Amino acid sequence: MTSTVETASGISLTDGREVVGVFADAEGMRSAIDDLQNSGINRSEISTVANRRTLLRRTGRDYADVREIEDDPTIPRAIFISRRSLGDAEGVLIGASAYLPSVIAAGVGASTNMSDEALLLSVIVAGAAGGLAGFVGARWLGRRYDGALHAQLERGGIILWVGTHSRAQERRAQEILARHGAKDVHVH
């Protein structure tokens, strides 16, 4: 099957050659992605299906089984976000949510000639409240992340597409996907 596919990074695979595999668990897929990147495949060439809302908006349809969409070039893609990257984002969200209110409270307190004890207390309370809000946001991100993977697994597995630029890279990608437990590994 020859087609033009635009990856999430905007890079077109003009020869339409990519390797596809379906994983029954997220851990096998994560390991495969690490190996793919270590073998020289750029992260922007590795994608999975976009979230359900994007899929419905762009295609006007859903799917019951991954086999319906694994070779469809019109399916919207997303670069896979690792659990480690998600953890980094959660940490930034919590940290920024604690830091900004603390700085604002310190600025307001200092400009109103608040006592040192009151200033310290306002900074602590603002930071704690902001940090709690950031924690709630981080939990929400984590649930969305896990929910998206779970939704794909319920439909038969997590699809991983790997754009390739040579036959050798194609063979290497197929080998890596199969070694990490992907099923239905093939080139399209």
Domain membership of residue 68 (yes or no) is yes
Q: Within this chain, do residues 101 and 114 fall inside the same structural domain, yes or no? A: yes
**What is the structure's pLDDT at 16?**
61
Residues 75, 100 within the same domain = no
- pLDDT value at residue 171: 94
Q: Judge if 132 and 168 occupy the same domain.
A: no
Q: What is the pLDDT of residue 81?
A: 80
Assess whether 50 and 115 both reside in one domain: no
> Is 148 contained in some domain?
no
Sheet order of strands, 183-187 included: 77-79, 46-49, 158-163, 18-23, 183-187
What residue numbers bound the domain in which 90 lies?
Answer: 85-142
**Does residue 69 fall inside a structural domain?**
yes
Which ranges of the chain have pLDDT less than 50? 1-14
Tally of domains in the chain: 2
* Same-domain status, 134 and 50: no
Which pLDDT tens digit goes with each residue over 27-81? 999 999 999 999 999 988 999 998 888 888 999 888 888 889 999 988 999 888 8
Other residues' Cβ atoms within 10 Å of the Cβ of residue 130: 22
